[in-house]
Every structure is written in C-alpha cells, then in structure tokens.
Amino acid sequence: DAGVIQSPRHEVTEMGQEVTLRCKPISGHNSLFWYRQTMMRGLELLIYFNNNVPIDDSGMPEDRFSAKMPNASFSTLKIQPSEPRDSAVYFCASCNQGEQYFGPGTRLTVT
Amino acid sequence: AQTVTQSQPEMSVQEAETVTLSCTYDTSESDYYLFWYKQPPSRQMILVIRQEAYKQQNATENRFSVNFQKAAKSFSLKISDSQLGDAAMYFCAYRSGLDSNYQLIWGAGTKLIIKP
C-alpha cells in the first residue's frame, strides 16, 4: 500500500491566489482528516469526513477555507484567497480501525 | 471534554540510554485508546504505539514501551537503547471509544534530542 498521498509536497504562492491541496487516502479507509501544523499553534484539526461526508468543520479558520471529498479516494482543501498567515504544513490523515495514518504533508508558503 | 497534556516541551538523552516521555490525560470515560506518534524532521507523522484502555498489559513495540497507569491517567513512553534516528517530536493522543469518527485529541508534543 502506498499510504496516504498528498500533493503538492511544497507550494509557494502569492497572497490573494487560490491554493488547492490534494489528498488520496489509503484504500478502504472511511475517515479522512485535514490538519494544519504551525510552530505557534501546533497541530490543529481543520475538518474531518466519514464516508465522504463532512462531519465537523468547526476547525476551519475562515470562510476562505473549504474542503471537499467527492469520492472515497480523493479530497481537496482549498484556500481562496490565500494570506501569509496561512503558511503552514497541511496534513491529511485517513483512518479505518481507529488508527490515523498520515500523509507526508504539504508545506504551504504564502508570500 | 477530554484533554491531553505533555509537560515536557523538550527532552534530551545520550545515545544508547533510556528516556521516558510523559503524558497525562483527563477523561471521565472508561473506554478509550491512547497513542504515541513520532514526527521526525522529515515531518511525516508515524504511529509508534497504541494502548487500549481495557488492556492491563502495557503495549510494547521493539525498543518502545508504555507505562499505562489508568487510575493516575498517565501514559508515558519509554524508549530503550536510544538511537540517533529516534530524534523527533513525539505526540501523545487520545481517542474516545465512543467516537465512531475516530477523532484524536492531541498533546502539544515533546521534542526529543539524542546526543551522540
């Protein structure tokens, strides 16, 4: 199994641009989580899905953030428009029997 | 609400020695799971070890073992024969057994430094 796949691994963009982060969970896992990690705030849960349905998006910081899971094998996290304070590492994790398996993360830098 | 506390922001240990990382949690539930995750400089989060609250026996994975004290709500991680590759951030996490969505409650992490 290839594990959780995230793309891109690094993203550098200018303030105001739209950013789309992608995640492919492990096949057969029915829960998917998006996290953000910064030095200041540590690891924050943004949103999670169960069977492709968003369950809790209370961690999404603002309306500029949106996430979708159109099918069991793909999810996106979109930031529009991006701001410098969105710079962070964004992780996707998938889960089946209670253990979350993380992707390698996307390091986002907004200048 | 459940909380997870890691009181040691940073720990250091000499290579080949043993180190223990602390984690305490607060919950009123009896059915739950506890985890230790490792995040090396490559930043990939890796599951190290898992403990079910109903199990009295402490979990062990090679050089990694836990000391699970349910009454004290303590879940420490012991790393024996420390190696340079063990240098990482270590996160303790809690999951309710009642949560079918498998959401984790995370500690703030402990940075482990290995001295050669």
Confirm if A106 and A10 have CB atoms less than 8 A apart.
Answer: yes
A37-67 pLDDT, tens digit per residue, is 998 888 999 999 999 999 999 999 889 999 9
B80-103 pLDDT, tens digit per residue, is 999 999 999 999 999 998 877 788
What are A108's strand-pairing partners?
A: A11, A88
CA distance B98 to B38: 25
Confidence of residue A1 (pLDDT cuts 50, 70, 90): low
CA distance B78 to A48: 31
CB contact under 8 A, A100 and B46: no
Q: What's B65-116 look like in SS3? A: EEEEECCCCEEEEEECCCCHHHCEEEEEEEEECCCCCCCCEECCCEEEEEEC
CA distance B111 to B29: 29
What is the chain B residue with the closest CA to A37?
B43
Closest CA to A32 of A1, A69, A60: A69
Q: Which residues on chain A are in Cβ contact (under 8 Å) with B37?
A: 102
Q: Which residues on chain B place their C-beta less than 8 Å from a C-beta of chain A? A: 33, 35, 37, 42-47, 50, 91, 95, 100-104, 106, 108-109
Closest CA to B20 of B83, B62, B69, B75: B75
Terminus-to-terminus CA distance in chain A, angstroms?
36
Residue tagged 């400089």 (tokens): B41
Mutation to test the B interface, candidates A29, A33, A99, most B Cβ within 10 Å: A99
pLDDT more than 70, % of chain A? 99
A30-39 pLDDT, tens digit per residue, is 899 999 999 8
Please give the average per-residue pLDDT across B8-22, as a whole number.
97
